[in-house]
């Protein structure tokens, strides 16, 4: 497919929050060569570059200045128990396809919207599993050095919903492929309460169960535009968690991780009485307090103001700080 650049492209239906947005210039990259051509274009024109996947975890401003590059690399290759996947492949479609083929490792991550390329950037996770658990390496195009290279799992510096791609390399690396280590031996991860009674025998059964739970708990972006969980669960050290439970004995049990004890941000928001709170057409979902939905014609300013009010309310009542999970691009 030939590389091309369009101007003044409407992306309002191409972000899952359905915010009104136009790209000054827009292109799609189906190969590393296309990425290189996009970089040549912005260098010659003196323009900034924004890289997007499925725009399922980003809050966009009305105008995207410069060139917006959408990653579209396809392809799934098997090399023994390592599966190499193009960054443009739909994440949930990949998970279901691999589970149908009895590959295990990703089943708890079914139902998450977005593309494969976004998965390591965000270090997506759900129901006791994070993508870092399966990653072998991430293939990238280095914008600074103008070349393709491969980063190991350790190079990615994964953390809770975090990676080097959101920090030091935020505007440097374009993810092109992700290599995942999977297994044909199914060992169900059922540490989360919703899965503890699960009687599943295959990765596909687990994936279907997780999708069913997510559909009951979380609003569907198709019918209620959103970017999934808008706030991260706060993580406390053991001493702070003991103090928190003492002050709030009705709070759900925290989840112990290597980083500390994760407490439920949704419960904090609900206790503040913020479900259905609105700013313009942005609203805290009635279905799940972690989700902000677009009820009609919400703007980035509406979403930003609502998120600020939620964070302030939780801070005032619990003296805890909520961190925003999606990337919020500046106006």
Side-chain-side CA neighbours of 15 within 13 Å: the count stands at: 31
Quote the pLDDT of residue 246. Answer: 96
Are 264 and 287 contacting, i.e. CB atoms less than 8 angstroms apart?
no
Distance of CA 138 to the CA centre of its chain: 16
Q: Quick one: what percent of the chain has pLDDT higher than 90?
A: 93
Residues of the chain within CATH 3.30.43.10 domain(s) are: 6-71
Per-residue pLDDT, 180: 98
Low-confidence ranges of the chain (pLDDT < 50): none
pLDDT at site 111: 94
Is the distance from CB of 221 to CB of 114 less than 8 angstroms?
A: no
Tell me the per-residue pLDDT of 272-286, one tens digit each, with 9 for 90 and over: 999 999 999 999 999
Q: Please say whether the beta carbons of 88 and 53 come within 8 A.
A: yes
Contact 69, 38 (CB under 8 A): yes
Burial of 90 per CB tally in 10 Å (0-12, 13-18, 19+): middle
Terminal CA-CA length for the chain: 33
Give the torsion sign (CA, 121, 122, 123, 126): negative
CA nearest to 326, candidates 54, 47, 6, 10: 54
Q: Does domain 76-213 have CATH number 3.40.50.150?
A: no
Helix (H) or strand (E) holding 247: helix 238-247
Intervals of CATH 3.90.78.10 along the chain: 220-328
Residues annotated as part of the active site: 161, 229, 325
What global pTM score does this model have? 0.90
User: Looking at domain 220-328, does it have CATH number 3.30.9.10?
Assistant: no
Query: Is the CATH code 3.30.43.10 the one for domain 6-71?
Result: yes
Q: What is residue 194's predicted lDDT score, i.e. its pLDDT?
A: 87
Chain region(s) in the chain for CATH 3.30.465.10: 76-213
Could you give the CA distance from residue 147 to residue 278 in angstroms, rounded to a whole number?
46
């Amino acid at each position: 497919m030939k590389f091309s650049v369009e101007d003044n492209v409407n992306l309002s239906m191409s972000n899952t929050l359905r915010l009104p947005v136009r790209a000054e210039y827009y292109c799609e990259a189906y190969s590393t060569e296309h990425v290189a051509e996009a970089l040549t274009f912005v260098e010659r024109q003196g323009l900034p570059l924004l890289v997007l996947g499925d725009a399922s975890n980003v809050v966009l401003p009305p105008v995207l200045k410069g060139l917006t590059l959408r990653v579209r690399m396809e392809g799934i290759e098997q090399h023994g128990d390592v599966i190499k996947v193009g960054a443009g492949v739909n994440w949930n479609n990949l998970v279901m396809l691999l589970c149908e083929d009895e590959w295990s490792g990703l089943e708890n991550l079914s139902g998450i919207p977005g593309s494969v390329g976004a998965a390591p950037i965000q270090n997506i996770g759900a129901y006791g599993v994070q993508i870092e658990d399966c990653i072998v390496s991430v293939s990238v195009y280095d914008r600074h050095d103008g070349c393709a290279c491969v980063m190991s799992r350790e190079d990615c510096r994964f953390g809770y919903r975090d990676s080097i791609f959101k920090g030091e390399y935020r505007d440097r690396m374009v993810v092109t492929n992700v290599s995942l280590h999977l297994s044909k031996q199914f060992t169900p991860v059922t540490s989360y309460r919703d899965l503890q009674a699960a009687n599943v025998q295959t990765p596909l059964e687990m994936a279907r169960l997780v999708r069913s739970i997510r559909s009951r708990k979380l609003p569907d972006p198709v019918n209620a535009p959103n970017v999934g969980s808008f706030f991260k669960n706060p993580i406390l050290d053991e001493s702070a968690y003991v103090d928190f439970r003492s002050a709030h004995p009705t709070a759900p049990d925290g989840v112990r991780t290597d980083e500390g004890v994760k407490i439920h941000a949704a419960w904090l928001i609900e206790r503040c009485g913020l479900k259905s709170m609105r700013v313009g057409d942005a609203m805290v979902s009635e279905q799940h307090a972690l989700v902000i939905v677009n009820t009609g014609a919400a703007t980035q300013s509406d979403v930003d103001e609502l998120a600020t009010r939620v964070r302030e309310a939780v801070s005032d009542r619990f003296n805890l700080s909520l961190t925003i999970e999606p990337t919020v691009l500046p106006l």
